[in-house]
Amino acid sequence: MNDLFASLKEELTHLSTEDGLKRLCEKFPKENIKFSSALGEEDQVITHFIGRNKLPISLFTLDTGRLFQETYDLIDLTNKKYGVSIDVYFPDHSDIEKLVKEKGPNSFYESVENRKECCFLRKVKPLRRALEGATVWITGLRSSQSDHRQSFDVIEWDDDLKIVKYNPLLKWTYDEMQAFIKQNNVPINGLHKKGFTSIGCAPCTRAITPGEDIRAGRWWWESSHKECGLHETKQVQK
């Protein structure tokens, strides 16, 4: 795997997003390349590249059971516009039933630990199941989204999941992304027009006010660094 990682890093680091995705499809079968989309603007840009080029990449999203209706509408619209089929992974029902029975439906408001427990059950565990058998995990992360993500690299080795992680939009700026979306008529969540810059679960997301950080609307009652656990595992830049 060390040789594979080194080879991918050498090839993909200097390629454009579109060319990088194409190169992955030349090297691996569809079942080995998986793109996790949260239906955010970054994710929609990547889906645009995949759909426009008919790339054989598996797309999936995580349905936590607490999403906005606008997010479901976007899944439907995206599938139809690009001719793709976004697989949807759900949490284990027994996990959620146990959590709600023991702590109630809103335990995430009570402490960071409770919130991370909820995220783990609703997001991290389904993600691990979705990535089973994959060699490369594609994400829509951008470094300017948070201080935490500025330490990421375009190509990383996720030592916890034992998978190559490809962040093709990492160096894109917010303005570059917005210009691309407008120029290519990329479908986005209707909540973005209402001040929602980062959209997750409905009870954990609010619109931001002018001047606030783009992730201020996520878990706004916390002073944490605004991560759910999907991208907090140890990243090794070999």
pLDDT in tens, 65-96: 999 999 999 999 999 999 999 999 999 999 99
> Which long-range CB contacts under 8 A does 192-201 form with residues at least 24 apart?
192/41, 198/40, 198/145, 199/38, 199/39, 199/40, 199/68, 199/70, 199/71, 200/38, 200/64, 200/228, 201/64, 201/66, 201/67, 201/122
Q: Which residues are catalytic?
A: 228
Render pLDDT for 172-186 as a digit per residue (tens, 0 to 9). Answer: 999 999 999 999 999
Tell me how long the chain is: 238
Say what the pLDDT of residue 234 is: 46
What distance in Å separates the CA atoms of residue 42 and residue 53, rounded to the nearest whole number? 17
Distance separating alpha carbons of residues 202 and 116, to the nearest angstrom: 16
pLDDT, tens only, 18-59: 999 999 999 999 999 999 999 999 999 999 999 999 999 999
List, for residues 189-224, the tens digit of each pLDDT value.
Answer: 999 999 999 999 999 999 999 988 888 899 999 876
208-226 per-residue burial string, b: 16 or more CB within 10 A, e: under 16? beeeeeebbbbbeeeeeeb
Q: Supply angle C-alpha 140, 152, 72, rounded to 5.
A: 20
Q: What is the pLDDT of residue 233?
A: 52
